[in-house]
Amino acid sequence: MEDLNIHKTAVVHPSAKLSPGVSIGPYSVVDGDVTIGDGVRIGSHCVVTGQTTIGKNCKIFSGAIVGSQPQDKKFRGDENVFLRIGENNVIREYVTINPGTADGGGKTVIGDNNLIMVYSHIAHDCLVGNNCVLANAAALAGHVTLEDNAVVGGLTGIHQFVRLGRLSIVGGCSKVVQDIPPFSTCDGHPAKVFGINSIGLKRAKFSLETVTRIKKAFKILFGSGLSKTTAIERIEKELGPCPEVEHLIFFIKMSKRGVCS
């Protein structure tokens, strides 16, 4: 336990793998199949369980429960499933995160530099990219995917199997039942597209030319009255090569639940 700061009331299984600089607060529990990276700080009254790996420099605040069994009726309890959390994530008070299920690929994966705010929930088999934000009490159902830099407003529910595209933002108290396009701003019950995420694109230092092309693509997709197939054909014909527009088109083509209107 050298270089560790473990409160005397914390319960840490002797098989748990703790790296140097780990701090564990009062009354927290860390089970035996857990691996915790350098410099991770775990607050008081937390539970870290299951086959969970946490990358270096994550901060887990009081009352969070990380790695507990999925809330899925099909889960048998003896499945060999995992939760992988990357580096530099902030997991605030009373957040709950579940591992994967055998039927869903076996793992929940969270990338780096994410902010997961109070009472948020990340369910089984979710894939969360890098630099995402879940505001207070945001809830991801099973099999949800967030691409990099996605933002979910507080008290928002995301339906299972829904995808949120890169640099998209969903307003608070929304109901999301279909895919959220990359670079979009969405809101409502159910959520609808209101335009591009101008502030997010600016902060990401997109060029004016790229932003202009994205705006034109959105106008054709959501403002022309054309079917998605016809709109995509028109975009490919008129806008020329642009990696961001190509990503937007690919995202829409790959949608299984449909894209917000």
List the CATH number of the domain containing 134: 2.160.10.10
User: In terms of domains, do 22 and 105 share one?
Assistant: yes
- Identify the pLDDT of residue 82: 98
Query: Does residue 1 have a pLDDT over 80?
Result: no
- Please calculate the CA angle 39-41-47 and round it to the nearest 5 degrees: 130
* Beta carbons within 10 angstroms of residue 32's beta carbon: 12
Mean pLDDT for the chain overall: 97
The model's pLDDT over 145-161, given as tens digits with 9 standing for 90+, comes to 999 999 999 999 999 99
Q: Is residue 172 part of a domain?
A: no
80 is in which domain, residue-wise? Answer: 5-143
Q: Is residue 124 part of a domain?
A: yes
Catalytic residues: 124-125, 142
* Beta carbons within 10 angstroms of residue 147's beta carbon: 21
User: In terms of domains, do 131 and 210 share one?
Assistant: no
Is 66 in contact with 49 (CB distance < 8 Å)? yes
User: In terms of domains, do 39 and 129 share one?
Assistant: yes
Q: Is residue 94 part of a domain?
A: yes
Residue 205: C-alpha distances to residues 111, 174, 208, 236 (Å)? 22, 27, 9, 24
Q: Is residue 158 part of a domain?
A: no
Domain count, the chain: 2
User: In terms of domains, do 133 and 241 share one?
Assistant: no
The model's pLDDT over 188-206, given as tens digits with 9 standing for 90+, comes to 999 999 999 999 999 999 9
The model's pLDDT over 69-86, given as tens digits with 9 standing for 90+, comes to 999 999 998 899 999 999
Q: Is residue 217 part of a domain?
A: yes
- Identify the pLDDT of residue 3: 86
**Both structure tokens of 103:** 């039927």
